[in-house]
Amino acid sequence: MIAKVQIPVPERRAHEYPHQLSGGMRQRAMIAMALACKPEILIADEPTTALDVTVQAQILDLMQQLKEEFGTAIILISHDLGIIAETVERIVVMYAGKVVEEGPSLSVFDAPKHPYTKGLFKSRPKIGERSQYGRRRLLEIQGAVPNLFQLPGGCAFHTRCVEAVEICRQTSPELISMSDNRKVRCHLATL
Amino acid sequence: MIDQRETSRSKPPLVEVQDLKVHFPIRKGLLSRSGGLVLAVDGVSFTLNEGETLGIVGESGCGKTTAALAVLDLIKPTAGKVLFEGSDMAQMSSSELRKLRREMQLIFQDPYSSLNPTMTLNQILNEPMRIHGLYPGKERTERIAYLLRKVGLTPEQGRRFPHELSGGQRQRVGIARALALNPKLIIGDEPVSALDVSIQAQIINLLIELQQEFKLSYMIISHDLTVVEYICDRIAVMYLGRIVEMAPYSNLYRDPKHPYSEALISAIPVSDPRVKRKAPMLQGDVPSPIRPPSGCHFHPRCPKRVAECDMRSPQLKDIGEGHLVACHLI
């Protein structure tokens, strides 16, 4: 397993303690542990957030290779849209404890339907964008994530939503299915 | 006469760093036998002009924060000079330094630990003005209200404590505190890294608006190359204590010259599922700055290295348009 996660000189490394390894190698060791019993699902919670960007690229590539080799399904939890875009096939967007949008990656990135997803995509600068097209003002999502103990009534996002209408304050929307395997939890999607 | 002299002599840059070195001794055991040196910053030079934003990027341990702390005189350099508006900070008396400190302020990464939890926002913003004896009496109350409004808070929120605020609001307080003394230079050490993605945009927009209004110069330290491209005019890429490339933002992102900058930029995940990232160009981790590799520090990981690279360390060369690269292949 240690060789599978591409740690050099595995025979020697097997006898070492975590503090003797670099951050990237520790994360490789974690992946080896997780895959040791041939699981059907691997859940990776922010697997590269603590790593430097050049090491992050190595780890993401490794996960992709192992997924193909072992046929393991992966649930990748991340706040980094770049990592999501390059790794996953299907996306679930969550807000305040609920799924607000779901669908195939390409389709969601091309045409986000929930105002929260739209806001997230527009609030991050894109790499190379300013160099090519100049600086556009970043879209801000107003306010902050609400306290989960005191969620606003109706749709939990309505207090920050630029598109909110009266019904959003009254009732919480259902997750509705749409074409192209997409789902969205927003009153406006049905209007 | 005087006018002539002023125009003929060009104004010095706001900050000029010349061959800065910061080495930390490693002590072993109680008898503090020397265990060698960490070459945190190893011969760094750059300038920052008025109203400009300089970004410093690099991976953990490359010395970017240490370089910034040396500019603020919070760490004494082992060698080299830091000039502020042309005068050498090492030659200044403590009263001169004290005056200078008003001109340079710091915004921290973590808005949770960088605000005193026992103070209200009013007290937090009062501190710098009290220490420097500025804006006495009623003027100070007015200035605190003004600062809160400037960063998008209300004067009524001044009676709150940090724990009553969200992360984004706290970072606004940190920015207001940095503005309190009307500084010329603000150094942001990972100013948005600890914030939620949806909040980062608010703080980035605020930083840019404040810069335009107050003609501030910024030094932004970050590992987030996407944010740095968006905010900075000029960017320095550091690797193991040295600057390997420095260029205006568009030159660096369109046409990185140093193999490390190229690898760093190509490793950033693009938030577009249609763009496929190339296979990682770099193997292994950043080596330890305690015993950095010989010659060019990057040579063991460099895909393009030649025989010369492990023997001599390359100097920064100007290749035009303010683009500097330290690589034997250029």
Residue/partner pairs of B318-322 with CB below 8 Å, 24 or more apart: B319/B257, B321/B247, B321/B248, B321/B251, B322/B234, B322/B246, B322/B247, B322/B248, B322/B251
**DSSP string of A21-62?**
S-HHHHHHHHHHHHHTT--SEEEEESTTTTS-HHHHHHHHHH
CB atoms within 10 A of CB A92: 14
CB contact under 8 A, A57 and B254: no
The pLDDT assigned to B45 comes to 96
What's the Cα-to-Cα distance from B293 to each of A178, B240, B241, rounded to whole Å? 57, 9, 12
d(CA A167, CA A93): 22
3-state secondary structure of A185: coil
CB contact under 8 A, B230 and A135: yes
Tally C-beta pairs within 8 A across A and B.
Answer: 140
Bridge partners (DSSP) of residue B318 are B324
Q: Which of B227, B273, B280 lies nearest to residue A106, judging by beta carbons?
A: B273
Low pLDDT (below 70) residues in chain A = 191
**What is the end-to-end Cα distance of chain A in Å, rounded?**
53
Contacts of A82 in chain B (CB under 8 A): 226, 268-271
The answer to whether A62 faces chain B, any CB pair under 8 Å, is no
3-state secondary structure of B228: helix
The answer to whether A47 faces chain B, any CB pair under 8 Å, is no
Closest-CA distance, A105 to chain B, in angstroms, reads: 7
Closest-CA distance, B75 to chain A, in angstroms, reads: 25
pTM of the model: 0.89
Residue given tokens 């919070």 in the structure block: B74
Cβ atoms of A122 and A112 within 8 Å: the answer is no
B195 → chain A, closest CA residue: A144
Task: List the beta strands (DSSP E) in chain A.
Answer: 41-45, 73-77, 90-95, 98-104, 176-178, 182-184
d(CA A28, CA A40): 19
Cβ atoms of B107 and B189 within 8 Å: the answer is yes
- What value does the CA radius of gyration of chain B take, rounded to a whole number of Å? 21
Residue given tokens 């060009």 in the structure block: B10
Q: Quote the DSSP letter at residue A152.
A: P
CB contact under 8 A, A53 and B60: no
A residues 114-173 lying closer than 8 A (beta carbon) to B: 119-121, 123-132, 135, 137-141, 144-145
* Ramachandran bin of B11, using left for φ above 0, alpha for ψ from -120 to 50, beta for the remaining angles: beta
Cβ atoms of B294 and B311 within 8 Å: the answer is yes
Q: Which of B59, B199, B272 lies nearest to residue A54, judging by beta carbons?
A: B59
Contacts of A124 in chain B (CB under 8 A): 197, 200-201, 226, 271
Q: Which residues of A37-60 are buried (b: 16+ CB within 10 A; e: fewer)?
A: eeeeebebeebbeebbbbbbbbbb
pLDDT tens track for A142-189: 888 888 888 999 999 999 999 999 999 999 999 999 999 999 999 998
Task: List the beta strands (DSSP E) in chain B.
Answer: 15-28, 33-48, 53-57, 79-84, 87-88, 104-107, 185-189, 217-222, 234-239, 242-248, 317-318, 324-325
**Sequence-distant (≥ 6) Cβ neighbours of residue A169 within 8 angstroms:** A153, A154, A155, A158
The pLDDT assigned to B33 comes to 59
**Sequence-distant (≥ 6) Cβ neighbours of residue B15 within 8 angstroms:** B47, B48, B71, B82, B83, B84, B185, B217, B219
The answer to whether A46 faces chain B, any CB pair under 8 Å, is no
Mutate to test the interface with B, among A86, A127, A130 (most CBs of B within 10 A): A127
Contacts of A105 in chain B (CB under 8 A): 273
CB contact under 8 A, B225 and A127: yes
Bridge partners (DSSP) of residue B235 are B55, B247
What does the CA dihedral B212, B217, B222, B228 come to, rounded to 10 degrees? 50
Indicate the angle between helix axes A115-123 and B197-214, nearest 10 degrees: 50
The answer to whether A79 faces chain B, any CB pair under 8 Å, is yes
B192 → chain A, closest CA residue: A124
CB contact under 8 A, B230 and A130: yes
Amino acid at the residue B5: R
Q: What is the mean pLDDT of each run of 10 residues along chain B (330 residues)?
A: 48 94 80 74 95 93 92 93 94 92 94 94 97 94 96 94 93 96 96 87 95 96 92 96 96 94 91 83 82 92 92 94 94
The pLDDT assigned to A97 comes to 93
A121 → chain B, closest CA residue: B271
Q: Which of B198, B202, B286 lies nearest to residue A120, judging by beta carbons?
A: B198
What does the CA dihedral B107, B112, B116, B121 come to, rounded to 10 degrees? 80
